[in-house]
Structure 1
Amino acid sequence: MRLENLCRLLNGTLLNTPAISEINEFGFDAKAIKRGYAFFSNDSNENDISQAISNGAYAIIATKINSIQDKEVAYIKVEDIQLSIIRLVRFMASEKSLVFYHINKIQMSIISNIHIKNAKLLPNRIHDIFKIIQNANFNDIFFSDDIEILNQLSPNYQSTALTKNIEIINSNSMFFVNFVFDEIYYQNINIPQIFLKDLCSLIETLSGNNIHFKLNEIKSLDHFEPIFIDKNFYPVSFGTSFRAIIVENDIELFKLEANYLANKFDQSDIIITASKNTKLDIENVAYFKNLNDIKSFKNFRYVLILCNKEELMERLNEKEEATLF
């Protein structure tokens, strides 16, 4: 990239008249800078700048430049490093005609499980985003659940959409599903039925873009997770008890799931519970002081709880630990 174009793109000011006229690559780690690179100095550290120049940097990009150590190297002053990087990433994405899709939290969990081959998930850190966009091919497709990042990179990002019918087959469990979608039969897919529409709208987007996926790779979404328990609240194998605690760690999904259970079951069959420190704008919530309090619940089929699964499992397994002494 020509130096004058880079300065214009970054909205930066060139502080000297260097010998170089073009930049070949970009880097953020002074130790990894090579000949022809432009070095983004996050904290304007003089030692890092010196090392970058020693390694062959053609340009230094920083918000604060105290001195020009090498007159042959371009010194570009910018107001905001992060914003400058975003401007450069946005330019590269446009140049390569990259395609961005917004997906929700559940779809992100699904797509993280199925290991898509010819599309990518967008990282959250700007440096990682820069690297993956820099190495992207023309027309590559990226998925992200972060609207703020997508708005910064490509305001014209797309969203998944469900336009085809779903036929559920033999609906015997809330926690896995058999269904027909787009004339394809999917059997024993390890996804709760409450998320089936999220899944199918994602399938429609993946199929429409010829993105390969395998739903049988899904192990757990980390949302609406059932822990089947015996009468003493001790965990048992999946499906071997008529009672289960359903764990959710996301408050917005918890509200959605509470409404789903309220519409699906009689009120006497379900208990919705959360810490007393969490106030929810939903009805009939049983608030607890600590997780052990849920062991006093009686006469239920399902308990939906807002908490961390690992912490809950520790409490439920305390009985076994106590018997060792």
Structure 2
Amino acid sequence: MKIETLVNLIGGELLNSPYISEVTSFTNEFEKANRGSCFFVKDSNDIEYAVKNGAYAIVSEKYENIIDNEIAWIKVDSIKQAVIDVFKYENLKTKIFFCDELTEHIIEKMNVNDNVIVLKSYEDLLRALNINNKFLITSDKKFSELFSNIEVLLSKKTDLEQLSLFKSRFQNVELNLPYVYKDEFSRALKFFEDNSLKFTLEFELERFKPVFVDYKLREVEYGESEKVLILGIKNDRFFFKELNYLIANTKHAKTLIVNEENQAVLKEGFNFAMLVDFDIDLNKEEEGSLF
């Protein structure tokens, strides 16, 4: 990108008359700055290192000390907005895949491709800027609004079997996937297969995550206790789907729904306890088991 184009695009103030005329990549990490990079400043202390690594342009929200007059020094009001403006310009024809938060989470866990980027922050926009033939995923509407070419991920019929409360089976492979997420898994699988992308089935979700504990709430090995905490649950639009699944699959067990206010009930006897909108510090000083 030509320096003149960059300055006009991000509404910047060019502070010098640089010798260089264009930049070829974008980053906000000085370790990744190289010959031709445009460096977006997070910390002024990083500028010297970015320049030594070959950065051709320094973009900052402050008037920085110009230590190399051959490269471009540009001041902007907002680094974040500058990144967004560059991203929109560079990706006018790029498609984005839009999905719900759980499908996004499963895609992120299954993904093994450097060119598949899940957009969650403006740093992700920067990573995506430097990748060709990229596949962009988001569940965040503010990112989907940057694109005109949007594809909503759809599900398909998938040969998924329920093995237990926390595990499923797909094509004879045991998955650490609660069957309640069968539709979200189907959408993730369809995304990878439709785009001829590699994926792994050896993944573990952070939501509906089982942690087996002893009577003192100390974590033990998987399956070595009759008490299970279910972590990563949020009181959002997926909660009642998860709650109904839990109730339907634990009819003969004592099951608790626990939040931060009533967490004292964990001192009582239970088999399954779903923790909603909070986490717990497990006592790991001693190893323990019910058996």
Same fold, TM exceeding 0.5?
Answer: yes
Q: Which residue of 2 aligns with 1:259?
A: 244
Shift, 1:67, TM fit: 7.1
Contact in 2 for aligned 1:226/1:244 (Cα 8 Å) = no
Per-residue deviation at 1:194?
Answer: 0.7
> Aligned partners of 2:29, 2:112: CA distance in 1, in Å?
30
Query: C-alpha distance in 2, partners of 1:60/1:230?
Result: 55
Choose which of 116, 121, 126 in structure 2 pairs with 1:120.
116
What's the counterpart of residue 308 of structure 1? Answer: 279
1:142 pairs with 136, 142, 155, which one? 136
Any idea what the Cα deviations from partners look like across 1:188-213, whole Å, max 9, x if unmatched? 33311111111011112221111122
Matched, 1:154 2:147: yes
Residue 84 of structure 1: CA displacement? 0.5
Q: Contact 1:118 / 1:212 at 8 angstroms: preserved in 2?
A: no
The 3 A distance-change label for structure 1 pair 48 and 320 is closer
Q: Which residue of 2 aligns with 1:86?
A: 84
1:295, distance to aligned residue in structure 2 (A): 3.9
Change (3 A) 1:52 1:202: closer
- Structure 1 residue runs without a partner (length 5+): 180-184, 278-286
1:100 maps to: 96
Alpha-carbon distance between aligned partners in 2 of 1:260 and 1:165, rounded to the nearest angstrom = 20
- State how far apart, in whole Å, the 2-side matches of 1:235 and 1:161 are: 38
Offset at residue 141 of structure 1 (A):
0.9
Task: Decide whether aligned partners of structure 1 residues 112 and 76 sit closer, same or farther in structure 2, where only a CA change above 3 A counts.
Answer: closer
SS of the aligned residue for 1:303 comes to strand
Q: Retained in 2: the 8 A contact 1:258–1:272?
A: no
Match of 1:248 in 2: 231
Percent of aligned pairs with the same residue? 25
How many residues are paired up? 286
Tell whether the 8 Å contact from 1:33 to 1:56 is kept in structure 2 after alignment.
Answer: yes
Tell me how far apart the structure 2 counterparts of residues 304 and 32 of structure 1 sit (CA, whole Å). 42
Q: Is 2:208–2:231's contact at 8 Å kept on the other side of the alignment?
A: yes
Q: Are the counterparts in 1 of residues 230 and 272 from structure 2 also a CA contact under 8 Å?
A: no
Q: CA RMSD in A?
A: 4.0
Question: Could you tell me how far apart the structure 1 residues matched to 2:4 and 2:76 are?
Answer: 14
SS at match of 1:11: coil
Alignment of 1:262-301 (within 5 A): 262-263=247-248, 266=251, 269-277=253-261, 287-289=262-264, 293-297=265-269
Quote the offset at 1:126 in angstroms.
3.1
On the 8 A contact 1:33/1:39 being kept in 2, the answer is: yes
Aligned partners of 1:30 and 1:48 also within 8 Å: yes
Q: 1:6 Cα deviation (Å)? A: 1.4
CA distance in 2, matches of 1:37, 1:319: 51
Q: TM-score, structure 1 length as denominator? A: 0.68
Rounded Cα–Cα distance in structure 1 between residues aligned with 2:197 and 2:217? 43
Q: Is the radius of gyration larger for structure 1 or structure 2?
A: 1
Structure 1 residues 162-210: Cα deviation after superposition (integer angstroms, max 9, x where no partner): 2x334555x552222246xxxxx45433311111111011112221111
The Cα of 1:5 is off from its aligned counterpart by: 1.4
Q: In structure 2, the residue corresponding to 1:158 is in which secondary structure?
A: strand
Deviations 1:38-94 (A, max 9, x none): 443346x4x766776677654443333377677655443322121111211222233
Alignment of 1:117-266 (within 5 A): 117=113, 119-122=115-118, 124-127=120-123, 129-130=125-126, 132-138=127-133, 140-148=134-142, 150-151=143-144, 153-154=146-147, 156-162=149-155, 164-166=156-158, 169=161, 171=162, 173-178=164-169, 185-215=171-201, 217-218=202-203, 220-227=204-211, 238=222, 243-251=226-234, 252=236, 253-263=238-248, 266=251
Alignment partners' CA distance in 2, 1:34 and 1:227:
44
More helix by share: 1
**Letter paired with 2:136:** F
Distance 1:275 1:177 in 2: 27
Q: Deviations over 1:232-267 (max 9, x none)?
A: 9887765577x442412232355442233345554x
CA distance change for structure 1 residues 5 and 269 in 2, over 3 Å: closer, same or farther? same
Q: Aligned equivalents of 1:232 and 1:245: distance in 2?
A: 12
**Alpha-carbon separation, structure 2, partners of 1:229 and 1:48:** 45
CA distance in 1 between counterparts of 2:206 and 2:184 reads 15
Cα separation, 2, equivalents of 1:69 and 1:234: 55
